[in-house]
């Protein structure tokens, strides 16, 4: 009995040697693709910049005890020798592709002959061949496409540079599929190659935009900006490495220091006030009151408005000649002073006032959802225990809502670092530089000051501050679940 079952499962699965060969084909293909990507999209310079920065960092790691580890020069000379002697590396994609083809040949020998008729993967294989043909076609017609506007130019340029390699890549993949598809052994379980190249292929294609955006923009873009923050790029990005100069200059800039100070004041206060006020308002709305919907609509509508609208309205309300100060003075308090638009020392509190108006409704809504999510029996139990409502909130409900509080905190914090539009609209950073914030510093340096390097360094600092908030939270939120 036991014998038959084991032999049955044996016939269905791929023999180990073949499986190993399949993995080798796959690995060579991946190697070919990655090395091609590094050359085609210009990953090289970015990696080089990061490498130099890391080397410089290590070199100065013990600078405070006057110990320097000469890593940077070692890195430089290593890289120089590498580019000189390992120049053939630029043929690596082709070499890897040839290797993959070799392994496909091995796969063919390990199989039991080749059949096209009745080949399980014939259609998929043809798909790859068609892709290769299209690439070659684009290459051949590149001079023609070139005339079709800017997009045509981009496609044509891409095809001329990379068409041959990608077509070859597709052909090897097609060949591999045709070979494993003709083998009769693989009936019940797909091998490594088939799983990657065929299995779920529609879903993979459908998810392609996400993969491209995630890797290309979010991951790639972030790395790119970090790398170029170590250059002295001015109007255009340059690959001239200047170490941490941009950061040193950044922290020496009064304007940046004011920005950081403002962000700290604004951030801490708006975190506290939004959480406290938002929670209190949610508690008030949770008292089974009449007109709950009306109140909620009123408290949330500013959130639908843009920061620009918010900033402009508050600029007008706080206008010293017509707004609050003027009115209080006109009812008799002649010496009343409240000018958070033109008074540099309190301007950030004026922004805070507007931000609270705009954002507290959201916090209130999140908190209310959290309150409503609490088991009603808890309230009943507390009433029977005779615990007053305020004490129930403080001792039982708030601790139970900890996840909601943490999530809300992260959302507010991520929003705080990004704050830009509100400042631009309400104060334009003024008076002077009194209400500057880091996001505005980045924009001004990048797009107005023709000082890209400063902009990159400043935005990298912003990223760092967000990561400090984000990583512990992600660890708590997702790392904790795996353990539980």
Partner 1 sequence: MGTSISVRDLVLSFGSVQVLKKLNLEVADGEFIVLLGSSGCGKSTLLNCIAGLLDITDGQIWIKEKNVTWAEPKDRGIGMVFQSYALYPQMTVRGNLSFGLKNQRLPKAEIDKRIARAADVLQIEALLDRKPGALSGGQRQRVAIGRALVRDVDVFLFDEPLSNLDAKLRADLRVELKRLHNQLENTMIYVTHDQVEAMTLADRIAIMRGGQIMQFASPKEIYSRPANRYVADFIGSPAMNFVEGTVADGAFTCAGHSIPLDGYEFTPTGRAGGPAWFGIRPEHIQTGEQAEAMPFRTEVEVDLCEPMGAETQVWASFADMQFRFLVDFALDLKRGDKVSVGFDPARASLFHKGNEERM
Partner 2 sequence: MVDIAPHAHQPVADGPRGKRPKPLFSLRNIVVYGTLLLVSAYYLVPLYVMIVTSLKTMEEVRLGNVFSFPRDITFAPWVKAWAEACTGLNCDGLSRGFANSVWILVPSVLLSIIVASVNGYALANWKFKGADIFFTILIFGAFIPYQVMLYPVVIVLRELGVYGTRTGLVIVHTIFGMPILTLLFRNYFTSVPEEIFKAARVDGAGFWTIFLKIMMPMSLPIFVVAVILQVTGIWNDFLFGVVYTKPDTYPMTVQLNNIVNSVQGTKEYNVNMAATILTGLVPLVVYFISGKLFVRGIAAGAVKG
- Could you tell me the smallest distance in angstroms from the CB atom of residue 461 to partner 1? 37
383 binds, among partner 2, partner 1, none (CB under 5 to 8 A by kind): partner 1
298 binds, among partner 2, partner 1, none (CB under 5 to 8 A by kind): partner 2
* Nearest residue to 92 (alpha-carbon basis) of 42, 37, 51, 52: 37
179 binds, among partner 2, partner 1, none (CB under 5 to 8 A by kind): none
- Could you tell me the smallest distance in angstroms from the CB atom of residue 323 to partner 2? 5
In the complex with partner 1, the residue whose CB is nearer, 331 or 384, is 384
In the complex with partner 2, the residue whose CB is nearer, 178 or 281, is 281
In the complex with partner 1, the residue whose CB is nearer, 65 or 384, is 384
| Helices marked H in 141-244 | 142-145, 149-182, 192-197, 201-206, 208-212, 222-228
In the complex with partner 1, the residue whose CB is nearer, 298 or 395, is 395
Quickly tell me which residue has 């353990």 as its tokens: 483
399 binds, among partner 1, partner 2, none (CB under 5 to 8 A by kind): partner 1
CB 162 within 8 A of CB 38: no
182 binds, among partner 2, partner 1, none (CB under 5 to 8 A by kind): none
- Could you tell me the smallest distance in angstroms from the CB atom of residue 203 to partner 2? 3
Distance (Å, rounded) from C-alpha 371 to C-alpha 379? Answer: 11
- Could you tell me the smallest distance in angstroms from the CB atom of residue 156 to partner 2? 12
| Helices marked H in 207-291 | 208-212, 222-228, 245-252, 254-285
B/e letters for 355-387, b = 16+ CB within 10 Å, e = fewer, are bbbbbbbbbbbbbbebbeeeeeeeeeebeeeeb
Ramachandran area for residue 358 (φ above 0: left; ψ -120 to 50: alpha; else beta)? alpha
- Could you tell me the smallest distance in angstroms from the CB atom of residue 335 to partner 2? 18
In the complex with partner 2, the residue whose CB is nearer, 184 or 479, is 479
Strand partners, 231: 241
- Could you tell me the smallest distance in angstroms from the CB atom of residue 89 to partner 2? 26
Contacts of 398 (CB under 8 A, 6+ apart): 279, 405
Distance (Å, rounded) from C-alpha 107 to C-alpha 183? Answer: 10
317 binds, among partner 1, partner 2, none (CB under 5 to 8 A by kind): partner 2
In the complex with partner 2, the residue whose CB is nearer, 182 or 315, is 315
- Could you tell me the smallest distance in angstroms from the CB atom of residue 293 to partner 1? 17
Binding site for partner 1 (CB under 8 A): 375, 377-378, 380-381, 383-388, 391, 395-396, 399-400
400 binds, among partner 1, partner 2, none (CB under 5 to 8 A by kind): partner 1
Distance (Å, rounded) from C-alpha 140 to C-alpha 167? Answer: 12
């Amino acid at each position: 009995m036991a014998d038959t079952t084991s032999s049955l499962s044996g016939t269905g699965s791929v023999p180990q040697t073949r499986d190993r060969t399949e993995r080798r084909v796959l690995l060579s293909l991946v190697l070919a693709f990655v090395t091609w990507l590094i050359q085609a999209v210009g990953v090289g310079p970015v990696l080089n910049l990061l490498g130099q920065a890391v080397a410089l960092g290590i070199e100065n790691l013990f600078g405070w005890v006057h110990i320097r580890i000469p890593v940077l020069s070692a890195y430089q000379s290593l890289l120089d020798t590498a580019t000189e002697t390992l120049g053939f590396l630029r043929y690596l994609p082709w070499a890897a592709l040839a290797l993959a083809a070799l392994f496909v040949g091995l796969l063919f020998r390990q199989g039991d002959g080749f059949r096209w008729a009745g080949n399980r993967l014939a259609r998929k294989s043809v798909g790859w061949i068609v892709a290769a043909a299209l690439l070659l076609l684009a290459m051949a017609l590149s001079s023609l496409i070139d005339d079709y506007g800017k997009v045509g130019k981009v496609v044509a340029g891409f095809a001329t540079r990379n068409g041959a390699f990608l077509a070859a890549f597709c052909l090897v993949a097609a060949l591999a599929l045709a070979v494993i598809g003709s083998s009769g052994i693989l009936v019940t379980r797909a091998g490594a190659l088939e799983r990657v190249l065929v299995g779920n292929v529609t879903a993979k294609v459908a998810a392609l935009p996400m993969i491209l955006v995630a890797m290309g923009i979010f991951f790639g873009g972030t790395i790119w900006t970090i790398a170029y923050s170590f250059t002295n790029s001015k109007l255009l990005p340059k690959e001239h490495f200047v170490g941490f100069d941009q950061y040193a200059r950044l922290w020496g800039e009064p304007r940046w220091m004011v920005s950081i100070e403002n962000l700290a004041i604004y951030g801490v206060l708006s975190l506290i006030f939004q959480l406290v006020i938002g929670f209190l308002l949610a508690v008030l709305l949770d008292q089974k009151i009449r007109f709950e919907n009306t109140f909620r609509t009123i408290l949330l509508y500013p959130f639908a408005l843009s920061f620009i609208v918010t900033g402009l309205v508050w600029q007008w309300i706080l206008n010293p000649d017509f707004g609050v100060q003027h009115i209080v003075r006109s009812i008799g308090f002649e010496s009343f002073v409240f000018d958070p638009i033109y008074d540099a020392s309190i301007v950030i509190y004026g922004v805070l006032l507007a931000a609270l108006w705009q954002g507290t409704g959201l916090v209130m809504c999140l908190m209310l959802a959290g309150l409503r999510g609490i088991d009603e029996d808890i309230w009943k139990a507390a009433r029977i225990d005779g615990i007053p409502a305020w004490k129930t909130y403080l001792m039982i409900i708030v601790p139970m809502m900890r996840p909601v509080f943490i999530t809300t905190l992260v959302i507010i914090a991520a929003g705080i670092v990004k704050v830009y539009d509100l400042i631009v609209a309400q104060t334009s950073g003024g008076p002077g530089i009194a209400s500057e914030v880091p996001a505005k510093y980045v924009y001004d340096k990048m797009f107005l000051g023709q000082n890209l390097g400063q902009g990159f360094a400043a935005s990298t600092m912003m990223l760092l501050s967000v990561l400090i908030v984000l990583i512990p939270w992600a660890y708590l939120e997702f790392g904790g679940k795996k353990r539980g």
